[in-house]
């Protein structure tokens, strides 16, 4: 016997002596998660604003605690119920007695389409019910094609297309679901020297998450303070839910490279007559008859008038419909505890949701972020004009109204505010009216907060160039206030290159690198500013 043949014989003899159990890969399924933690990161390219559940650009880091019974030898450990958008390469498993040999994302989910594809070439039972007699008939056949164009099967009578007979038809499967999972599954190959019961922690990144901040600002009757409330909207665009999870969000500009996601491109199987239905093949169902719009009769309505004769509304004469239901007496609920302060996560901010919450699949959920009372603010009227204008005529730019405050503890704030949308409201004749919907950028502590609340039609400005000599322009600006109260006006005059303001009739300052005139205007007053601009 040659040397090679002798070595091969020894190897076969040694493998035959190994226990059969040690040579086989055993299937092990981990328990359902006993604890879940999820940290949601905002889409890097979205700085506040609304989110769409169908197109979420953020992601989440999910941590699950599970219990597993691992036998000795090689095992395929299955984590059933992970989030659909899991990135398998990001999965980290701690607590296993041995090493992880490989990881797999099992994407073959159980569905009518996947089940139909799985039984192609196998014998199934077709159940047909005669709509006239109601008696079912069972036909045995083999599915030879299943796609988005329809289902074709072969019986003893020949080749047929599903639902082309006009009879209600369903399939009965006796096998074919092997290898299909009802929920997304991550499987890992591991090896253990002895059987053990272990508590393992699975951490992974999942796509299809996002969050946004939304704020409400209610202006108090004094017109100088407002109450600010903040909500965090959590979005989960996956089919799997994260029940009773410890939830965190991360705010800030996160640098993240594009991740190529795996998409299941298997076409949906559509059970319809192939290639298309025909009216002579499928009986048309009875259509819903048209219903005429009921005509209007004046006697059906009565007018509700106030003492001054103004028509307020119109309602039906039925008095029982007009009577409002009695208001139940409700006990005053205890105020919710304030959310914990944000934590530093490198250069990012981490906010913890105070209580455990269920981040349900395909759902938006809101939880409280901030609740601050009596935040002082200033109402500023402002606009910007050109320093040098070589054209003719005048400028009459629109006047913006800004609500300005500072994110400090002295102003009852002093906490990092993630970017989001504001809704500003104010009471008017015992009704809460919406007056603006500005956006807030990511605002750190001690930063200035400016909320754009709209344009003012009662404050006007007119800019004129009264004279030009070479590189010097003389400018005249008239500002008028037709409001019933005094205002603070900030006139911005941006300069570029070597431009400089000289010979001004009023004091000005540079704020954020822009020359600015600060003017106090009483009700019905006007003021004229004059200055010259040179370009050196």
- Kindly state whether residues 97 and 240 are assigned to the same domain: yes
Q: Residue 395's pLDDT is what?
A: 92
> Measuring CA to CA, which residue among 6, 63, 67, 23 is closest to residue 39?
63
Distance (Å, rounded) from C-alpha 356 to C-alpha 247?
7
Quick check: is 85 in a domain? yes
Predicted confidence at residue 406, as pLDDT, reads 96
Q: Identify which of 341, 245, 338, 340 has the alpha carbon closest to the alpha carbon of residue 39.
A: 245
* Residues 70/96, Cβ–Cβ less than 8 Å: yes
35 and 168 inside one domain? no
The answer to whether residues 384 and 244 belong to one domain is no
- Within-domain flag for 272: no
Q: Is 190 domain-assigned?
A: yes
Same domain for 139 and 102 = no
Pairing of strands 420-428, 439-440: antiparallel
Low-confidence spans in the chain with pLDDT less than 70: 1-23, 106-115, 165-166, 173-181, 258-340
Q: Which residues form the domain of 101?
A: 24-106+182-212+231-251
Q: Is residue 99 located within the same domain as residue 124? A: no
496 belongs to a structural domain: yes
For residue 114, the model assigns a pLDDT of 65
Please tell me the distance from the alpha carbon of residue 173 to that of residue 161, in angstroms, as a whole number: 18
166 shares its domain with 79:
no
Task: Flag whether 337 is in a domain.
Answer: no
| pLDDT score at 431 | 93
The owner of tokens 């239905």 is: 277
Examine the domain organization and report whether 201 and 70 are in the same domain.
yes
Which SS3 state, helix, strand or coil, does residue 212 take? strand
Q: 74 in a domain, yes or no?
A: yes
My answer on whether 47 and 194 are in the same domain is: yes
User: How many separate domains does the chain show?
Assistant: 3
Is the same domain home to 393 and 489?
A: yes
Q: Could you tell me if 64 and 114 are in contact, meaning their C-beta atoms sit under 8 angstroms apart?
A: no
**Predicted pLDDT at 536:** 81
Q: Are residues 52 and 148 in the same domain?
A: no
pLDDT score at 176: 55
What is the Cα–Cα distance from 93 to 64, expressed in whole angstroms?
10
Structural domain contains residue 367? no
CATH of the domain at 469: 2.60.40.290
Q: Closest Cα partner for 377 from 408, 403, 401, 400?
A: 403
Q: Would you call 116 exposed, middle or buried from its count of C-beta atoms within 10 A (0-12, 13-18, 19+)?
A: buried
Output the CA angle 37-40-41, nearest 5 degrees: 145
- Give backbone dihedrals phi and psi of 299, rounded to 5 degrees, phi first: -70, -15
| 102 and 161 both lie in a single domain | no
Say if residue 396 is in the same domain as residue 485: yes
pLDDT in tens, 465-515: 999 998 999 999 999 999 999 999 999 999 999 999 999 999 999 999 999
59 found inside a domain: yes
């Amino acid at each position: 016997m040659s040397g090679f043949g002798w070595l091969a014989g020894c190897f076969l003899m040694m493998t035959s002596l190994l226990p059969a159990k040690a040579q086989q890969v055993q299937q092990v399924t981990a328990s359902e998660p006993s604890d879940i933690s999820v940290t949601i990161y905002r889409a890097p390219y979205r700085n506040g604003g609304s989110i769409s559940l169908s197109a979420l650009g953020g992601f989440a880091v999910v941590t699950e605690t599970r219990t597993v019974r691992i036998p000795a030898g090689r095992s395929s450990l299955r984590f059933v119920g992970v989030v659909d958008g899991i990135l398998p390469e990001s999965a980290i498993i701690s607590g296993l007695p041995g090493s992880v040999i490989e990881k797999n994302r099992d994407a073959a989910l159980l569905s009518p389409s996947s089940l139909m594809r799985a039984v192609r070439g196998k014998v199934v039972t077709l159940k047909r019910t005669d709509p006239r007699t109601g008696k079912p008939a069972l036909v045995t056949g083999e599915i030879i094609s299943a796609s988005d164009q329809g289902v074709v099967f072969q019986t003893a009578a020949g080749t047929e297309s599903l639902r082309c007979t006009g009879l209600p038809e369903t399939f009965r499967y006796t096998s074919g679901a092997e290898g299909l999972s009802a929920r997304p599954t991550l499987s890992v190959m591991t090896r253990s020297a002895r059987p053990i019961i272990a508590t393992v922690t699975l951490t992974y990144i999942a796509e299809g998450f996002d969050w946004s901040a939304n704020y409400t600002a209610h202006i108090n009757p004094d017109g100088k303070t407002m109450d600010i409330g903040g909500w965090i909207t959590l979005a989960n665009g996956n089919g799997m839910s994260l029940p009773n999870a410890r939830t965190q969000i991360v705010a800030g500009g996160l640098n993240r490279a594009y991740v190529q996601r795996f998409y299941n491109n298997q076409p949906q199987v559509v059970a319809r007559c192939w290639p298309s239905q025909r009216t002579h093949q499928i009986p048309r169902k009875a259509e819903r008859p048209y219903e005429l719009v009921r005509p209007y009769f004046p006697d059906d309505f009565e007018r509700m008038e106030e003492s001054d004769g103004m028509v307020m509304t119109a309602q039906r004469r039925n008095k029982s419909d007009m009577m409002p239901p009695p208001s139940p007496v409700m006990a005053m609920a205890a105020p919710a505890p304030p959310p914990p302060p944000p934590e530093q996560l490198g250069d990012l901010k981490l906010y913890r949701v105070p209580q455990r919450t269920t981040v349900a699949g395909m759902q938006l959920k809101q939880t409280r972020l901030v609740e601050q009372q009596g935040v002082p603010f200033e109402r500023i009227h402002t606009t910007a004009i050109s320093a040098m204008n070589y054209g003719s005529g005048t400028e009459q730019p629109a006047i913006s109204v800004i609500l300005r405050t500072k994110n400090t503890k002295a102003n009852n704030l002093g906490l990092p505010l993630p970017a989001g949308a504001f809704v500003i409201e104010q009471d008017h004749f015992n009704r809460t009216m919406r007056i603006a919907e500005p956006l807030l950028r990511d605002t750190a502590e001690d930063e200035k907060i400016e909320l754009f609340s709209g344009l003012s039609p009662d404050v006007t400005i007119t800019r004129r160039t009264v004279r030009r000599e070479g590189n010097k322009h003389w400018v005249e600006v008239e500002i008028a206030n037709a409001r019933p109260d005094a205002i603070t006006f900030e006139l911005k005059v941006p300069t570029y290159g070597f431009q400089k303001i000289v010979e001004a009739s009023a004091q000005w300052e540079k704020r954020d690198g822009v020359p600015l005139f600060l003017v106090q205007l009483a009700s019905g007053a006007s003021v004229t500013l004059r200055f010259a601009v040179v370009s050196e």
